[in-house]
Amino acid sequence: MNVHALPVRLRTAVGGNTSRHPSKTAVQDPRWPQIEAALSALRTNGRHAVRIVDAQCGAGTLLLHALAEARRLGFTAIEGHGIDRSPLLIGRARSVAHRVVDPAIGLEFEAADMVTALLDEQDLPADIVICHDPARARQPDARLALCKAGRIVIDDQAGSHDRDIAA
């Protein structure tokens, strides 16, 4: 199917927007270059599937654009999991997520405490975990939970913890 033949609203939902960066919010986020680099490295290493967790996802904008970027890079199995403490923001994220119509993208948003939700991720760590600075969240267990929940952890400082990008 040629996504460029779809109406603009649907092209955006499946990640087929002709603009490389459809959101100013994503482009201006200090984590975006690290997210792009991590996705590119995974794809260069032959990966076709990727799992991304956004702890403290808010309304899900950054996660949605990361999933669209993964699709643009050629990933064929993409899973996104957004976590935020605010039910209102998760409601907004779920509302936008209903427009994602690409069968290669699985997406879930959960209203939960970040550390508690990340503990559930430890059995099958994500490829990439996106978060805000856990020290500012005043959760001492957050850094450990983040490191165990994902192979690559990208925080507000645009720093990352990288366990094994080729895995």
**108-153 pLDDT, tens per residue?**
999 999 989 999 998 899 999 999 865 555 566 777 888 889 999 9
As a whole-number percent, the residues of the chain with pLDDT over 90 amount to 57
Instruction: Check if the beta carbon of residue 55 is closer than 8 Å to that of residue 143.
Output: no
Average pLDDT over residues 105-110: 96
Say what the pLDDT of residue 10 is: 36
- Inform me whether the pLDDT recorded for 21 exceeds 80: no
Instruction: Check if the beta carbon of residue 50 is closer than 8 Å to that of residue 127.
Output: yes
Instruction: Check if the beta carbon of residue 104 is closer than 8 Å to that of residue 66.
Output: no
In whole angstroms, what is the distance from residue 127 CA to residue 155 CA?
14
Beta bridge partners of 162: 152
Instruction: Check if the beta carbon of residue 129 is closer than 8 Å to that of residue 154.
Output: yes
Higher pLDDT, 24 or 101: 101
- At 156, give phi and psi (nearest 5°): -55, -30
Say what the pLDDT of residue 28 is: 81
